[in-house]
A and B are shown apart, each in its own frame.
Chain A
Amino acid sequence: MVFSAEAVGAPSANTGIWWAPAKVNTTESDLHLIADMSTVYTSPFPAGCSPGFCQIIDQWVGGFIEGASTAFTGGSQVGADGLFVNSPSTPILLSNYVLPGDAAHNTSYPDNASYFSAPVVDGDGIFFIASDPFYDGTCAGGAFTGVFKTGLSGGTAGSILNTCDTQPNGDSIGANSFNQLAANEGTAVFPVQDTTTGNYVLDSYVNGALYQVLAPGQALPSGASCSGAYHATGCATSISPPGTGSINGGRVVFGAEGGAYWYDDGIYVASLPCAVSVNKEVSVALGSLTYDSADKLWLQTATVTNSGTKALSGPLSLVLADLTSGVTLENPNGTTVCFAPKHSSYINLNLPAGNKLAVGSKAQVTLAFSDPSDASITFTSEVASPGAR
């Protein structure tokens, strides 16, 4: 796991990002540096700067790991900022990048006008929050911030929702929106300030479409008919935005307050409609099992081919139904809750750009199994459509 921490006892206070194994009692030799204040990235800013006079990035925060990818951000005292994946020497976006939807950067700070935070790795993409601290436009009373998505290699990004957009009911989006982000399997959830109602609502982006999850005045699962009532039994009064650990497999968990007296506090799970099997539209070919003696894992390649007559939209997951007892898939993306058989491990397919598997196209994943009892590794392949797993 990755952690962002403060350290004391060095010549000066230190902050940085480290990783360590989970599920074991670690010793100091198990702790590994990703970046701290001894790690310096020299930016190309200001343009044409001479060595020794370029802005440096040496303040490292955040850190989100999924699979082999760890995303984090770096900043500095003088304005350079960046979004990084795996290495502090190779930013995938820097603060001179003009975010989609943003106005042209302020001419006094052209290289320092995009700040990045809260990157979340999601397959071959990264969701993140970004803002322009020197925004010259008129959106949100002069504030530009939003949720964006880029690839693991960065370069460019797409806007999911930002303060220059409007909510579909015509209400504008306030400057205090997007202060938290949860994302997984093509779905992102974030709080949005509705400037007309003054409410903080919970919105979502699900595979290219925007949906509202919940707003104050709407019913929580008590069956109450709220009709916009804020202080009534079973009605939400305020919603705590979910953080990075609050989303998985098409479900989001969050806290909410409500009721007639505010303090009917609860924890709720919002679920997308359950995925369905698309087995009739695909074929799954399994390679032979090979043993990785270093990691003590059995590896197997699974190739999913769209054998149907239309493209399949992602995310698509390979569900390992009825996996041999005692055998564990060690690189799953989750465990099914509603997709039968329940409690099956699944792994997401890496789909091409556009998040679709075209007719005749293939997607390949490597399955990694632990098999301490050396049992025969068998399972039934099921391919799940978009939706809750």
Chain B
Amino acid sequence: MTFYKIAMLFALTGGQMIWAQTWTITKVVDNTTACPGTSQGVFNPVGTFPAIYGPWVVFLDPGDDNCAANNGPSIWSYNLITQALLKLVDTSTAIPKGTGDFEGLSAVGSDNNLQVNEGTVLFYGYGSGYNPTNPNCSGGLYTVSVEGGAVYRTVDYTMALPGYGGSFCGLNTSNGINGLMGMSLSRG
């Protein structure tokens, strides 16, 4: 990893504001970083929806870069301490409580984020299944450990939601960034 410290100091311009740069920026991956476990893949970190918790950075690789099964999308974790990259989910991963493998993966909110909390990653995925009365409703929310392993269903299109009614159709992204998610294990 390359480290570079920005040291620009701006003038104080009134009020109580102090404006100086104190952040040190580190590269995680770029489009020259080889995908582990592949012979010719390099990451394509466009629209990567990264998230961070402790040493774990989680990101979505959109595919078309020979990094994952079927040249499709994949979700990876990177450990800032060990600098290890690990593929967590791709289109060869079976959909828990679903049919077949994931065909698409994405972030969980319209603020374009994956979520990671206490070592658990939250993502949106879909396969070939869909609501027979509304084909636009498919997929669900799933969790996986930053260290890989089993994928769990949190909610999917087959499940009725309590309250007014209806089954899960997708994330509410109709109102700008308000589709954002939070996750905590304190209620689970």
Listed in ascending order, the chain A residues whose CB lies under 8 Å from chain B are: 1-11, 13-16, 18-28, 31-33, 35-39, 59, 61-68, 70-71, 73, 75, 117-118, 120-121, 129, 165-170, 179-181, 204, 206, 208-214, 218-223, 240, 242-249, 251-255, 257, 263-273, 330-332, 334-337, 342-343, 389
Is B131 a contact of A8 with CB atoms below 8 Å?
yes
CA gap between A85 and B121 in the complex, in Å:
24
* Interface of chain B residues 38 through 70 with chain A (CB within 8 A): 44-55, 57, 59
**Identity of the chain B residue whose Cβ is nearest the Cβ of A266 in the assembled complex:** B30
CB distance from A201 to the nearest CB of B (A): 11
Is A23 a contact of B185 with CB atoms below 8 Å?
yes
Listed in ascending order, the chain B residues whose CB lies under 8 Å from chain A are: 1-4, 6, 8, 10-13, 15-31, 44-55, 57, 59, 80-81, 96-97, 107-109, 111-118, 120, 122, 131, 133-134, 137, 141, 143, 145, 152-155, 159-172, 174-188
CA gap between A302 and B31 in the complex, in Å:
46
CA gap between A245 and B137 in the complex, in Å:
25
Question: Do A213 and B164 contact each other (CB < 8 Å), given the known contacts A3-B171, A25-B97, A221-B27?
Answer: no
CA gap between A215 and B161 in the complex, in Å:
43
CA gap between A9 and B159 in the complex, in Å:
11
Is B21 a contact of A61 with CB atoms below 8 Å?
no
Is A1 a contact of B23 with CB atoms below 8 Å?
no
Question: Which chain B positions have C-beta within 8 A of A21?
Answer: 154, 187-188
Is B81 a contact of A66 with CB atoms below 8 Å?
no
Question: Do A4 and B172 contact each other (CB < 8 Å), given the known contacts A63-B180, A267-B45, A335-B55?
Answer: yes
Is B161 a contact of A1 with CB atoms below 8 Å?
no
Question: Do A23 and B28 contact each other (CB < 8 Å), given the known contacts A31-B155, A209-B18, A223-B2?
Answer: no
**Identity of the chain A residue whose Cβ is nearest the Cβ of B160 in the assembled complex:** A28
Question: Which chain A positions have C-beta within 8 A of B183?
Answer: 1-2, 22, 65
CA gap between A7 and B29 in the complex, in Å:
37
CB distance from B98 to the nearest CB of A (A): 10
Is B182 a contact of A121 with CB atoms below 8 Å?
yes
Select which of B11, B25, B50, B113 is within 8 A of A220 by beta carbon. Answer: B25
Select which of A38, A118, A253, A271 is within 8 A of B164 by beta carbon. Answer: A38
A-B CB proximity, top 9 nearest: A335-B54, A7-B166, A266-B30, A21-B188, A64-B182, A243-B113, A245-B51, A1-B183, A243-B111
Question: Which chain B positions have C-beta within 8 A of A10?
Answer: 164-166
Question: Which chain A positions have C-beta within 8 A of B19?
Answer: 167-168, 210-212
Is A253 a contact of B178 with CB atoms below 8 Å?
no
Select which of A62, A253, A270 is within 8 A of B51 by beta carbon. Answer: A253
Is A209 a contact of B17 with CB atoms below 8 Å?
yes
Question: Which chain B positions have C-beta within 8 A of A121?
Answer: 182
Question: Which chain B positions have C-beta within 8 A of A8?
Answer: 131, 133-134, 137, 166-167, 169
Question: Which chain B positions have C-beta within 8 A of A240?
Answer: 112
CB distance from B60 to the nearest CB of A (A): 10
Is B50 a contact of A255 with CB atoms below 8 Å?
yes
Question: Which chain B positions have C-beta within 8 A of A263?
Answer: 31, 46
**Identity of the chain B residue whose Cβ is nearest the Cβ of A336 in the assembled complex:** B54
Besides the known contacts A10-B165, A168-B11, A331-B186, 9 further A-B residue pairs in the complex with CB atoms under 8 A apart? A1-B187, A3-B155, A65-B187, A117-B176, A266-B27, A267-B30, A269-B25, A332-B118, A334-B54
